[in-house]
């Protein structure tokens, strides 16, 4: 019998062990804990060990999500993996590497690139795929921004951290994935970019290193607008008020972005949940890491209404409305 809805049945996350504080960064850079904390809300970030890869992080998070849902990898119909930092540049995809590592032999697998919005994009796609195929989907976000960060650039390197998280989605009799809205604005793609692609032919000459390049100030105001407008749209389309949302889970880019959004929405900043002080910006992994933290610390009650909201490179933006149906 085909089930009419989709729900989240398990989550998992993984953060590397190594903690790098603002003071650690200030040892080799012209910056300070005071500047970083007051401009971003970040105190520390996790940075992967040299022998860890994004796939290792994705695998650890996926195992936990599967375990929590009580599912075996062979039961998966699809793996969708969001990342800007695949183990390989393009081929093979990280999702296929994960499919092999998990021994999820019945799963199709592909990578999804929507930068920091990758998880909210993937949830929407997973929802549609599950309704069509009635099989479980593993949505994973694994990001090792430390590998594409210029550690000499104080404008960017202070912002990012490494981490991964996963969510296991199933066909359901009750409505868990209620609504998603996604958007993009390619005209502003230059605000956050990573070179080294295929617009030039391959060469035997070594290329200059490609680090993520960001126009921070311009992104900041775009981000505030995108997050505010996405929240308002989700509420309007579902005839809800902010008071009816139990947990707002925004992408963790900068606490000041959340403060500005809260001011526009006339709500306390604390309504926009944040763990950025400890994780920094883990790109598309930031929402599912926070979701897993809330789940594992017992903050989510059955039937709670969750709203996720993200913006990121591309530019991309979007959000999901989720009814929490786990006991």
- Three-class DSSP labels, 10-56: EEEEECCCCEEEHHHHHCCCCCCHHHHHHHHCCCEEECCCCCCCHHH
Residue choice 65, 107, 116, 144 for contact with ligand UT7 (CB under 6 A): 116
CB 297 within 8 A of CB 291: no
Active site residue 281: yes
Nearest approach, Cβ of residue 217 and ligand UT7 (Å): 4
Q: Are 33 and 202 in contact (CB under 8 A)?
A: no
154 binds ligand UT7 (CB under 6 A): yes
Q: Which of 22, 281, 295, 320 is catalytic?
A: 281
Q: Which is nearer to ligand UT7, 137 or 227 (CB)?
A: 227
Q: What is the DSSP letter of 307?
A: E
Catalytic residue check, 116:
yes
Residue with tokens 């591309």: 314
Q: Does 249 bind ligand UT7 (CB under 6 A)?
A: no
- Neighbour tally for 29: CB within 10 Å: 16
CA-to-CA distance for 33 and 145, rounded, in angstroms? 20
In the complex with ligand UT7, the residue whose CB is nearer, 81 or 276, is 276
Task: Report the nearest approach of ligand UT7 to the CB of residue 154 (Å).
Answer: 4
Q: Beta 177-184 vs 192-194: how paired, if at all?
A: unpaired
Nearer Cβ to ligand UT7, position 139 or 191?
191
| Cα distance between residue 212 and residue 191, in whole Å | 10
Q: Stretches 150-158, 168-176, 228-236, 317-325: which one binds ligand UT7 (CB under 6 A)?
A: 150-158
Catalytic position from the list 251, 254, 295, 320:
251
Site for ligand UT7 in 265-324 (CB under 6 A): 281, 312
Q: Is 23 in the site for ligand UT7 (CB under 6 A)?
A: no
Residues 172, 175, 176, 177: what is their CA dihedral angle, to the nearest 10 degrees? Answer: 110
Please give the Cα distance from 321 to 307 (Å, whole number): 5
Residues linked to residue 171 through DSSP beta bridges, in sequence order: 6
C-beta of 61 vs 84, nearer to ligand UT7: 84
Which residue, 31 or 172, is less far from ligand UT7 as judged by CB?
A: 31
- Give the DSSP letter of residue 272: B
Is 31 a binding residue for ligand UT7 by CB under 6 A? The answer is yes
Looking up tokens 């992408």 gives: 251
Q: Supply the residues annotated as catalytic.
A: 116, 251, 281
Q: Which residues bind ligand UT7 (CB under 6 A)?
A: 31, 35-36, 39-40, 116, 154-155, 158, 192, 214, 216-217, 219-220, 223, 253-254, 281, 312
């Amino acid at each position: 019998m085909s089930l009419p809805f989709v729900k989240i049945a398990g989550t998992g996350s993984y953060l590397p062990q190594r903690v790098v504080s603002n003071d650690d960064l200030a040892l080799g850079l012209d910056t300070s804990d005071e500047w970083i904390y007051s401009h971003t809300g970040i105190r520390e970030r996790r940075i992967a060990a040299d022998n860890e890869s994004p796939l290792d992080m994705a695998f650890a998070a996926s195992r936990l999500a599967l375990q929590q849902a009580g599912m075996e990898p062979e039961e998966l119909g699809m793996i969708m993996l969001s990342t800007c930092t695949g183990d390989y540049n393009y081929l093979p995809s990280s999702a296929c590497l994960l499919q092999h590592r998990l021994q999820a032999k019945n799963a199709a697998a592909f990578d999804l690139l929507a930068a920091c919005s990758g998880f909210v994009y993937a949830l929407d796609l997973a929802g549609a795929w599950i309704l069509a195929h009635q099989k479980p989907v593993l949505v994973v976000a694994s990001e090792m921004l430390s590998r594409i960060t210029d550690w000499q650039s104080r404008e960017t390197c202070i912002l990012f951290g490494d981490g991964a998280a996963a969510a296991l989605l199933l066909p359901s009799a009750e409505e868990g994935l209620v609504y998603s809205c996604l958007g993009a604005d390619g005209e502003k793609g230059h605000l956050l970019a990573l070179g080294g692609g295929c617009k030039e032919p391959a060469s035997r000459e070594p290329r200059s290193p490609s680090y993520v390049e960001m126009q921070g100030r311009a992104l900041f105001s775009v981000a505030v607008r995108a997050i505010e407008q996405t929240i308002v749209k989700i509420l309007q389309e579902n005839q809800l008020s902010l008071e009816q949302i139990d947990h707002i889970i925004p992408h963790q880019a900068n606490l000041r972005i959340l403060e500005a959004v809260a001011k526009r929405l006339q709500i306390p900043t604390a309504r926009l949940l944040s763990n950025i002080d400890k994780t920094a910006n883990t790109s598309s992994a930031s929402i599912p890491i926070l979701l897993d933290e809330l789940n594992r610390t017992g903050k989510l009650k059955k039937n709670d209404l969750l709203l996720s909201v993200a913006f990121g490179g591309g530019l991309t933006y979007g959000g999901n409305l989720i009814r929490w149906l786990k006991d």
